A = this chain, B = another copy of it.
Amino acid sequence: MTLPAAADLSFDIASLHAAYAAGLSPAAVLAESFARHKAADDPAMFLYLRDLDEAQVEAAALPAFDAAAYPLWGVPFAVKDNIDVAGAPTTAACPAFAYLADEDAFVVAMLRKAGAIWIGKTNLDQFATGLVGVRSPYGVPRNAIDPLIVPGGSSSGSGVAVARGIVSFSLGTDTAGSGRVPAALNNIVGLKPTLGALSASGMVPACRTLDTISIFALTVADAHRAFRVACAYDAADAYARPIAAPPLAPVPPTLRIGVPDAATREFFGDAAQAEAFAAALDQLRGFGCEIREIDFTPLYQVAQMLYEGAWVAERMAAIEPLFRSNPEAIHPTTAKIIGGADKLSAADAFRGFYRLADLKRAAEPMLAGLDLLCVPTIPTFYSLADLEADPIGPNSRFGTYTNFVNLMDMCGIAVPTGPRSDGRPGSVTLLARAGQDGLAAALAQQIQQAAHPVLGATGKPLPVAAAPVGALAPGEAALVLVG
C-alpha cells in the first residue's frame, strides 16, 4: 500500500497497524497525536501531557513492528488521572490530593508491555464522582461532538481524547457509568469490563467494591484488543478475579436480549433518543436476536442504592483524611455528595447489602432466560447550561441505565449506533453476566459494523478491516486494506 500520512488516519488500531506495516513510523503518529491535541485547543482535556520527546524516545526503542507479539505496537493512549503512570502526578482532579506515582498501575504496565505509548493524563469529575465532566477544578473538557453539551464523566478527558482521534484508546474508570456515559456523548465505544477482570492496583478508588478500569476506543475491535491485553489476574488486588478474555468469536445465532418495557423505558421526553433506541432494537431483531421486553423496576431499585444506599461511604473511605483535614479542597458538589456518607452508620451499610441481596435475588428469575440486556447508554443529552442550573439532577438522570450495572455484577459495552434523526450520536449499551465481556463485545461489533458510523469526531469511517468478526488476525488487517 501507499504510505499513508499520519494526518489522514483515524488512529483506530487496524488503520494504524496497516500503516505501520506499510512503513509509517510511530514518530509520525506521535507527532500527529500531539498536533491534534494542540489543534483541539482544549486545555481542560489533559491534566498532564507527556513530553513529546520522551514519548518519541520510547517509540524509537520499540522492537520491530510485530502486531502478533505486540498487539498495541505504537498505539498512543491516554490515562484517566485517577490511574498511576510512573513519573507523572496522579491528581484525581483534586490538587490537594495529588501525588507523584512511583510506578505504573498494573493495567498501564500491561498495555505498555504490549507496545502502547502513553501521551498524557486526562481530566475527570473529581474522585470519579459524577457522570457529567463538569466537576473538576481544572475546567470542563469540550465535548468532541457539540461544545454546548457536557463531555460526560467522570472519564471526561479520556472520552474526548479518543473521540478527537488524539489517541487510539484511553483508560477510564467506571463505578456508576463513568466509562459509558462519555462514550455515548462523544460517539465512541466504552468497554466496562467485568468487576475484577482488570487490576485496580495503582488506581485511586471511588467505590472499591464497585470500581473497574474501563476502555474507550473508536472501534469495538480496538476496545476489546486493549481489554484482552489488560485483562490479567493480579494477586495484589484483593478484588481481582480470574476472568477469561478470549478473542472475539462470532455472535451466536439466536440471542435473547432483555430490554426495558414501555412502562420502564425512560428518555425524559427525548423523542429522538426513544426513536434511535427503537431502531437499534429493530436492527438487533434483524440480526436474529430475540428481543424480550422486561420490567426494569428491580434494576432501577438497585441503581438507587448506589447513592441513596451505603456505597457513597466507600467514596468517603477513599478520601476521608483529606475530607476531614481540608474539606474546602474538594469540589463543592463532590463534597456534598461524599459528605452524605456521614449520615450512614455501619448498620446502615449492612442494611444496604441486605437490600441489594434481596433485590438481586428478586431480579434473578427475570434475568435467567436472557443472554444480554440492551439499554440506551444515556436517556437523553444535557448541556453545560443544564448542569449550571442543576448540578445534581441531570447527573442522576444520565445514570438511569448505568448505575445498576456494577451493583448487579454485570459487564457492558457502549457502542455507537449512528446519528439520531437530529444528528446527535446514538448509542446503546449491551450488558452481560460477569465474565461474558466477549459476548457483549461480539454483538457490539456487529452493531457498529451495521451502523458503520464515522468514528468519534474524526470524520473518518469504520475501517473495512474491522468488519468480519474474529476473521482477521492482526497481521492480516493490512492485506485487507490493500485489497
Residues of A within 8 A of B (CB): 208-209, 235, 238-239, 310, 313-314, 316-317, 320, 341-342, 344-354, 357-358, 360-361, 364
A344 contacts which of B345, B352, B353, B358 (Cβ < 8 Å)? B345
Please indicate the chain B residues that have their CB under 8 angstroms from the CB of A350 in the complex. Answer: 208-209, 310, 313-314, 317, 349
CB of A323, distance to nearest CB on chain B (Å): 10
Q: Which residue of B lies closest to A344 (CB)?
A: B346
Q: A235-B364, A361-B235, A364-B235 are in contact. Are A345 and B341 (CB under 8 A)?
A: yes
Contact B341 A320 (CB under 8 A): no
Bound complex: CA A224 to CA B308 (Å): 43
CB of A62, distance to nearest CB on chain B (Å): 35
Q: A317-B350, A347-B320 are in contact. Are A238 and B361 (CB under 8 A)?
A: yes
The 4 closest A-B pairs by CB, nearest first: A313-B346, A344-B346, A238-B357, A349-B349
CB of A339, distance to nearest CB on chain B (Å): 11
A317-B350, A317-B351 provided; 17 other pairs, C-beta below 8 A?
A: A209-B353, A238-B354, A238-B358, A238-B361, A310-B349, A313-B345, A313-B346, A313-B347, A314-B347, A314-B350, A317-B347, A320-B347, A341-B345, A341-B347, A344-B345, A344-B346, A346-B352
Contact A208 B345 (CB under 8 A): no
Contact B346 A348 (CB under 8 A): yes
Bound complex: CA A316 to CA B354 (Å): 14
Please indicate the chain B residues that have their CB under 8 angstroms from the CB of A235 in the complex. Answer: 361, 364
Contact A342 B341 (CB under 8 A): no
Please indicate the chain B residues that have their CB under 8 angstroms from the CB of A346 in the complex. Answer: 310, 313, 316, 341, 344-346, 348-349, 352
Q: Which residue of B lies closest to A209 (CB)?
A: B353
Bound complex: CA A180 to CA B239 (Å): 30
Please indicate the chain B residues that have their CB under 8 angstroms from the CB of A351 in the complex. Answer: 317
Please indicate the chain B residues that have their CB under 8 angstroms from the CB of A341 in the complex. Answer: 345-347
Please indicate the chain B residues that have their CB under 8 angstroms from the CB of A347 in the complex. Answer: 313-314, 316-317, 320, 341, 344
